[in-house]
Amino acid sequence: MNPRLAALTVAGLIVVFDQWTKLLVRQKLSLSDSITVIPGFFNLVHAENPGAAFSMLAGASQAVRSVLLIGLASVIILLLGAGLFGKFHIVTSPVSRWAVSLVLGGAVGNLIDRVRVGTVTDFLEFYLGNYYWPSFNVADSAIFCGAVLLFAEQWLHKPKPEPNVS
């Protein structure tokens, strides 16, 4: 299979799985409901995030959030798509191709929510004692994993400095 087509397939599967899990959460849990899965560690919840990551911009007006978040996500999606097809040099290896496909799928999954309902459905909640990580979803997970892969690849493969010969 063509590597670009494989990367787009991965991104598409992430979008499908993300939208399916969010649909299940919206159908099965009322807003703010919670189901304990692993006591003291993991819950399924139904949260709607009107802002960006960690609820940034949640207090901004709906119009400002829509323009900024939908606009920014659209630009990122276009740049990532162009990167997969060689227009930018962000995809330089198979690892970066998979990383970009993860970020692309996650970005599209969250953009669909934002355009459709104005918020992003989050449902995975991890915590220890009174310390809670903000809830997130499949798309967020894909974006995070893709970003970590890109960072790791850049960090592990950064060029070695030339020796200083005087």
Active site residues: 122, 140
Nearest to 94 by CA among 164, 23, 6: 6
CB atoms within 10 A of CB 31: 11
Name the one residue in this structure whose structure tokens are 């949640």.
Answer: 58
> CA angle, 78 as apex, 75 and 79 as ends, to 5°?
85
Distance between first and last Cα of the chain:
50
Strand order of the β-sheet with 34-38 is 34-38, 42-49, 120-128, 131-132
